[in-house]
Amino acid sequence: MATTRPVKEGWLYKEGGAARNKWQLRWFVLRADTLFYYQKKEDTNCLGSINLSLVEDVSKVGDHSGRGHCMAIVGVKANKKVYYLSTESSETLNEWFTAFKAVTGLHHTKPVVSSYCTAEVFINNSGIRINGDVNYQILSTLSARTPPERKSRDHLGWFCCRSVAVSTVLGVFSQYRWNPDKVYRSTGLLPNEPGVHPLIRIIFSRTDPTDPPPSPDTEPSAASRTGPADELLEGADDELIELMKEFGIPLNLLQV
């Protein structure tokens, strides 16, 4: 076992490997560029380790599989495995996140422009997929009252097996200052259905991701009161055009 002085150590919850959605409390020790985890603090033999020199990205993901204050370590080894870790508080999350960034050097080798970010959303009658680092409140709102087994996350983003109206998606994103850049009628794949199916694809951007969330007293938009997604997806293109007009989206963003 490494004998160098720990960069950081403490208790973290780790999402179980084979037991999906099961969290296990483990003692973690960060030494040099390797993260070791143990069943007990006094143990000398580790249960496993993560080589952070092979990490592609470390990101905060908010809520995941029933726990808050989560982060994801992405791209370990060649198999692109994702490790999910959770802390008891946002303060502890920030401490570990800072330590990981310092050890991996990601903030030096992969600079992130904090003033601009994008998200890609795919919608059909049976589900919605969001790729990108978006506000956890958006994910929570769009998946409200959906059982955990109908939600999933991978290294690209998040999926919810639930019918959500396009107007609802536009309304929720707009409340958090995300702007639609492109709107497509397209085809593609979703995790819950085999084969290729019709989709609505929307590209969002946000110029200031540090903006605070809207007040709880914010008046709900008209989008949150619309009907199911199939009312739009099975309709003519002029319905999508009218919806874009309602939200002030320039029609030149529509790509059929």
117: CB partners within 8 A, 6+ apart: 132, 133, 205, 206, 209
Res. 80: pLDDT tops 90: no
Per-residue pLDDT, 29: 95
Amino acid at 108: H
Mean pLDDT, to the nearest integer, of 207-218? 49
The last residue of one of the domains, among 74, 104, 134, is 104
**204/119 same-domain check:** yes
CATH number at residue 83: 2.30.29.30
State the residue range of the domain holding 70. Answer: 8-104
Model confidence band, residue 241 (pLDDT cutoffs 50, 70, 90): low
**171/243 same-domain check:** yes
**pTM metric for this prediction:** 0.44
Most confident segment among 5-9, 34-38, 99-103, 211-215: 34-38
- Among 87, 71, 1, 5, smallest CA distance to 36 is for 1
**13/85 same-domain check:** yes
Q: Does 227 fall in a domain?
A: no
Res. 107: pLDDT tops 60: no
Query: What is the spatial order of strands in the sheet that 48-51 belongs to?
Result: 48-51, 34-38, 23-31, 8-15, 81-86, 67-76, 57-64
Please provide the average confidence, as pLDDT, over all residues in the chain.
Answer: 74
User: How many structural domains does the chain have?
Assistant: 2
Tokens representing 110 are: 């992969």
User: What is the DSSP code (8-state) at residue 253?
Assistant: G
**88/120 same-domain check:** no
**119/197 same-domain check:** yes
Per-residue pLDDT, 108: 38
**153/71 same-domain check:** no
Among the listed ranges 52-61, 160-169, 235-244, which one has the minimum average pLDDT value?
A: 235-244
**75/131 same-domain check:** no
The last residue of one of the domains, among 84, 104, 124, is 104
Per-residue pLDDT, 245: 60
Q: Does 41 fall in a domain?
A: yes
**42/153 same-domain check:** no
18: CB partners within 8 A, 6+ apart: none
User: What is the DSSP code (8-state) at residue 44?
Assistant: S
- Among 255, 106, 80, smallest CA distance to 183 is for 255
**96/127 same-domain check:** no
Q: Does 94 fall in a domain?
A: yes
